[in-house]
Amino acid sequence: MSLEMWFRDDLRNILFSINVASAAAARFSDQELVAAYRQGFEEALESTAVALGIPPGEVGLHPPRASGVQPASRGRRVSG
């Protein structure tokens, strides 16, 4: 029996790459609908990150950098 092990950095990178792919695909749709979809999508990824012990801000499109450089705004949010 083998031991399967994932490192937190690997899981964070996987969640981040999923987010990037979704954002790229969303560029070609209705803006209001896309904004609502992206908000829910990012919240689902952030919830998954929390369950894995990863701070939710680290899986957004502009994760914080170790150098202390602050990321740009994540974009428009749809108010609920």
- Give percent above pLDDT 70 in the chain: 72
- Rounded to the nearest 10 degrees, the angle between the axes of helix 31-51 and helix 8-26 is 170
Average pLDDT, the chain: 75
Could you give the CA distance from residue 11 to residue 70 in angstroms, rounded to a whole number? 22
**Count, residues in the chain:** 80
Please write the tens of the pLDDT for every residue from 23-41: 887 777 777 888 888 888 8
pLDDT for residue 71: 41
pLDDT for residue 70: 42
Q: Where are the domains of the chain?
A: 8-58
pLDDT for residue 72: 41
